[in-house]
Amino acid sequence: MMRQYELVDRVRRYNPQTDEATLNRAYVYAMKAHGAQVRASGDPYFSHPLEVAAILTDMKLDDATIVAAVLHDTIEDTDSTREEIDRLFGADIGRLVDGLTKLKKLDLVSKRAVQAENFRKLLLAVAEDVRVLVVKLADRLHNMRTLDYVPQDKRTRIAEETLDIYAPLAGRMGMQSIRDELEDLAFRHLMPEAYAMIAARLADLRDKNGRIIATIESELAEELAAREITATVEGRQKQPYSVWHKMERKSIAFEQLSDIFGFRVVVPTVEDCYRVVGVVHTKWAVVPGRFKDYISTPKQNDYQSIHTTVVGPGRQRVELQVRTEEMHEIARFGIAAHALYKDHRVADRGTLTTESRAYQWLRRTINLLAEGDTPEEFLEHTKLELFHDQVFCFTPKGRLIALPRGATPIDFAYAVHTDVGNSAVGAKINGRHAPLVSQLQNGDEVEIACAEAQVPPAVWETVVITGKARSAIRRATRDARRAQYAGLGRQIVTRAFERASKPYSDEKLKSALPRLARTSIDDVLAAVGRGEMFSGDVVKAVYPEFMEERKASPPRPRGEAGWFGLKKAASLVFKVPGGEENPRSIPIRGLDGDLPVRFAPNGGAVPGDRIVGILTPGEGITIYPIQSPDLTQFDEEPDRWLDVRWDIEDGHRALFPARLALTAINEPGTLGMIATVIGDHGANIDNVVIRPLSADFRELVLDVEVYDLKHLTSIISHLRARPVVSKVERVNG
């Protein structure tokens, strides 16, 4: 375990002006707080925060971050409090430690929800101070290094979480060295056989090609020195997880990989980077399509380098990364490389500079995702944002938009602005009209066509791949549905006030909001529209002295005067002129003999439906639409299934049974309006069943007879357009 003086010495090596007194005080405080606690390995628990601090000293971080690392588990795992940390070490360090503390005693329903809420709290703390994230990643790295001592089930969960969240997050922040180690450690625990196989293959390859690598290094270094370019050249090998991931992603064998070995060239200036590329491309043949300039167009995590692949000595394909020393430092440590202590200045809150594009992205993403989503949605969207194999596209005005690979014009529209995404109706890619679900490629110019009053279809949520787009679509869909319910609720409430002979106004309702336990008028109206609140309660809240005379009546038996003001509503039959009540033959091809044929009792079937016949010995054949859930009961009896089709001509006048379920407002005239729509379409109502849902709503189950699926769809569409109808669905089984 690291001694007190060793911790101070590690910090003093890169920061001679370190506050030794604070470091010493933190060491002693944490050691006493953790006391006799031990880790799963049997080591003193205090060794863990010290190892986390050691990882951060390798990144040369400021005193406050190192102290926070030493104290990061004190609030969570000991009797220490935030107030005590603030008093002893200052509010800045207290804020960092609190951001790293998991929530306790959460009133949540699942382990996944606990994980999601903890992660949400972590990222919201990160948005305030990114040093929280740096400490958290170091904490996760040391936990992964000691994962062998954890029980197997917990080990698997931690490794999956690391691979899903923390490794990509480290990559997004440009901390590539931490990302690589986290991925490899998680890979080793999740797929030990695959890890062992790839590691063995890499070791064999390294032994076999060691001499070639040394030759390439020396030849490249000599060539650059001859051109008076000061450069450090070193060979590198892909990590096992990176090799496995590429094999899986591209569906290729180990032998087909051409970039297992690569070379990094580090030079003093940006000008030297391009001089190196000129030398390399002049001496060796370039592999087409393998040149990427991330200096002129940095990645979102601030990564900058020039990547190129050439056919080098011995006809060997050689991948080169060319960068400056500063770029190399940022590539290794990411946002941690922006720390102000490097200039030996006094570090105040917000140690990382605002120049970090990665941190700007993180704060922007968190602010977007924090708007009203559940913890689970937040976790889902953040995962989507973390995997960032990118494509770069342009607006017609030349603005660069970076998106994950596989992104669509819908993702592009939301990346430009949420309003652009919500109103998008079409797209042009490189000047040509293209579907909104097209996959974008590097260099595409994308133009989005918009329309006012457009609401994004809910199905878009399954198409887009960026968290911002998915969150915005879900929010817009939710708002549109809420507006629809609020409109219906306003209609119900207005009529309730009319029946009570009381004047209604939004101002009067606003004053009654506390009595209704709602924060806005729209909340009340939407609750009434959804059937969650009775309109009479709204009247009483506005006029407490009002005594409602009309009481909600219990369900009436069929045949009595009902809530629609019509007698025997449940047995009304509307006939088409010339309609017959006698049973008809059913025009279906594929049925022979004299077997009785009938339609499914729960919903029937109409021409236009795909249908099947189910044979019941001694009873005949029942016709079901293919989407009927009742068919599942016959899954284990394939011999009873018959292949049948409709055998009817266009313009036929035969009627076929279908069933509709409606939710409608409970007021006189509702059934008449519904019956008028069906009658105007030339359809029959064969039966009606009415069920009370609440004082304001009733459910109707209508058995109707229609010509075909198009006829039925038209009826449903016109019913949905009626103001008294809240919902209409076809019933199949």
CA angle 431, 432, 437 (to 5 degrees): 115
What φ, ψ does residue 430 adopt, rounded to 5°?
A: 55, 40
Q: How far apart are CA 511 and CA 412, in angstroms?
A: 44
Q: How far apart are CA 311 and CA 319, in angstroms?
A: 9
Set 9, 19, 58, 77: catalytic member = 77
Burial status of residue 251 (CB atoms within 10 A of its CB: 0-12, 13-18, 19 or more)? exposed
Set 76, 128, 217, 380: catalytic member = 76
- Cβ–Cβ under 8 Å, residues 268 and 325: yes
Q: How far apart are CA 465 and CA 385, in angstroms?
A: 8
Burial status of residue 719 (CB atoms within 10 A of its CB: 0-12, 13-18, 19 or more)? buried
In the numeric block, the tokens 């006030």 are attached to 497
Write out the two tokens for 375. 């913890």
User: End-to-end alpha-carbon separation of the chain, Å?
Assistant: 68
Please, how many CA atoms are within 13 Å of residue 198, restricted to the half-sphere of its CB?
24
Q: How far apart are CA 306 and CA 320, in angstroms?
A: 8
Nearest to 258 by CA among 318, 214, 306: 318
Ordered DSSP codes for 644-666: -EE---TT----EEEEEEEEEE-
- Cβ–Cβ under 8 Å, residues 707 and 655: yes
Q: How far apart are CA 464 and CA 370, in angstroms?
A: 19
Write out the two tokens for 50. 């010290």
568 φψ region: left (φ > 0), alpha (ψ -120 to 50), beta (else): left
Which of helix, strand or coil describes residue 45? coil
Instruction: List CB contacts of 41: < 8 A, sequence separation 6 or more.
Output: 146, 149
Instruction: List CB contacts of 131: < 8 A, sequence separation 6 or more.
Output: 61, 62, 64, 65, 68, 96, 351, 352
DSSP E strands, 491-602: 588-589, 597-599
Write out the two tokens for 48. 């863990």
How does 667-692 read in b/e, with b if 16+ C-beta sit within 10 Å?
beebbebbbebbeebbbbbbbbebee
How does 603-628 read in b/e, with b if 16+ C-beta sit within 10 Å?
bbbbbbbebbbbbeeeebbbbbbeeb
Write out the two tokens for 556. 């009436």
77 is catalytic: yes
The gap from C-alpha 303 to its chain's centroid, in whole angstroms, comes to 25
Cross-strand bridge partners of residue 625: 611
Cross-strand bridge partners of residue 609: 607
- Cβ–Cβ under 8 Å, residues 574 and 685: yes
Per-residue DSSP letter, 530:
T
Residue 310: in which H helix or E strand, if any? strand 306-311
461 is catalytic: no
Nearest to 492 by CA among 706, 694, 665, 626: 665
Q: How far apart are CA 654 and CA 708, in angstroms?
A: 9
Residues acting as catalytic residues: 76-77
